[in-house]
Amino acid sequence: MTTSLFFLMWGLATALALPLLLPFHGRGVEGVPAFMAANVLAVLSMLAYAAADIVPPGAYVMVSNAAWTCSAALVYIGVRQFFGLRPHILRTTVLCSLCMFGFALLLYRNDSLVARIMLFSLYTCVLMAATGTVIFRQRKRIQTGGVVLYLLLAFFGVVGIQALRAFVYGAGLAAPVSLLQPSAWSLFFIVCGSVTVPAMFLALLFLIQTCQAEKMQAALTFDSLTQAYSRRSIMDALEHDLQRCERAGGKLAVLVLDIDHFKSINDRYGHAAGDTALRHFASVVQNAVRSSDRFGRLGGEEFVLLMYDCDPASALVQAQRVCDALRDTPLYLQGLEVPMTTSGGLASYQPGDSADVILARADVALYQAKEQGRDRVVMAWSGRGVVRAAGGQPAGAALALEETAGSTA
């Protein structure tokens, strides 16, 4: 009776993950239906042993083993689905079916407890190790520290316990007994299982929650169309860089870029082509700049590049590299080559600059570049008292523009 209570508590502890998985099923997260079904079957496996006093022995053993066999298979399939991999449903179903057939033979035709223990443990080891391997190979897709370690400990913890169980009984270190018999080893494996199995399902829940949170954070951090930093993120980064400059006397160059004749692309080829042009522009710029530079989208076809620890001369060379890269990488729309160019305004940090002031200086330089024929960068060397108007246009006093760089193609 005491052992049955252990299994009842084990089943209830495993079931705790189910209501927490339900919201993700409603959101259509891949793999969650398989995880939920696996959880239900794992709970059924524990409850079958908990009901051993009122169910015929042949029935509860077969129900428990079959339920766990399917549960382990569904966990493996669900993890692959979650990561967008081919789920291997056919091969996993075949393996699961063969295992259940083996249980039936070893229970009803040639009753062998040792053979059933070995089959159960080895099958669990194979499926859980395969699942852990999938997680390890996909670890770079999980950015939050410690999550992968917890997942691997949970899955390989199950593997370790089942491997030890197979070794103990297979090597004859202990007499094989049912988990319902209160021997030292059976109690040890029940206690370990009541920890590792619920931990495995909580690890799956942790995996889903972490990845969903990272996706939400990425949606806030990056522009969904171009994968450049979002306006909010790039403005936060600019404020941070300005604070660094003020504290440590650092150097910062801000380059505001605008795609030349972007409206004509939309008008001639349609808005879908305009989106393609924006993605093309962002890709070219990000490939042309330093890995330490931060590139973001302010809105529409206007972007900004933050170059920390970059003096004005180096920033001008970098800006020219961006213009050259875009000019040398044509865009293809509807089978036609569409040349793209950009105009830029470059401003360097001056003591006391705020984000609005340095962007306003860069804006004035940008509009000067447009007036001078586009496909070029104009540098704003000095200026004060300019703020960025609500519509994005610079307002206030005119700034001194002392140097022009870029092609005039």
DSSP type of residue 310: -
Residue pair 308/250 in contact (Cβ under 8 Å)? The answer is yes
Residue ranges in 328-373 assigned as alpha helix (H): 355-371
pLDDT number for residue 381: 67
What is the separation of C-alpha 303 from the centre of its chain, rounded to a whole number of angstroms?
Answer: 25
With a CB cutoff of 8 Å and minimum separation 6, the contacts of 207 are 82, 135, 142, 147, 151
Question: What is the homologous superfamily of the domain 231-405 according to CATH?
Answer: Reverse transcriptase/Diguanylate cyclase domain (3.30.70.270)
**Would you say how long the chain is, in residues?**
409
CA distance 237 to 330: 30
Q: CA end-to-end span of the chain, whole Å? A: 88
* Tens digit of each residue's pLDDT, the chain (409 residues): 567 777 888 888 899 899 999 999 888 899 999 999 999 999 999 998 888 778 787 788 899 999 999 999 999 999 999 999 999 999 999 999 999 999 999 988 888 889 999 999 999 999 999 999 999 999 999 988 889 999 999 999 999 999 999 999 988 888 887 777 778 888 888 889 889 999 999 999 999 999 999 888 888 888 989 999 999 999 999 999 999 999 988 899 999 999 999 999 988 889 999 999 999 999 999 999 999 999 999 999 999 999 999 999 999 999 999 999 999 998 998 888 998 999 999 999 999 899 999 999 999 999 999 999 999 999 986 544 333 333 333 333 333 333 433 433 3
pTM for this structure?
0.72
Amino acid letter for position 45: S
Instruction: Annotate 296-316 with b (16+ C-beta within 10 A) or e (fewer).
Output: bbbeebbbbbbbbebebeebb
Tell me how crowded residue 318 is: count the other CB atoms within 10 A of its CB: 20
Q: Which two tokens stand for residue 406?
A: 């870029």
Phi/psi at 308 (nearest 5 deg)?
-80, 150
CA distance 98 to 313: 71
pLDDT number for residue 181: 74
- pLDDT tens digits along 306-348: 999 999 999 999 999 999 999 999 899 888 899 899 999 999 9
Tell me how crowded residue 74 is: count the other CB atoms within 10 A of its CB: 25
Signed CA dihedral, 82, 38, 170, 3: sign only: positive
Helices then strands (H, E): number in the chain? Answer: 13, 10
Catalytic residue (one of 301, 302, 337, 403): 301
CA angle 392, 393, 396 (to 5 degrees): 125
Q: Which two tokens stand for residue 12?
A: 């209830």
Amino acid letter for position 297: R
pLDDT number for residue 316: 92
What is the separation of C-alpha 138 from the centre of its chain, rounded to a whole number of angstroms?
Answer: 10
pLDDT number for residue 98: 96
Phi/psi at 247 (nearest 5 deg)?
-75, -45
Domain regions of the chain by residue span: 2-220, 231-405
* 371 tagged catalytic: no
* Kind of pairing between the strands at 377-382 and 342-348: parallel
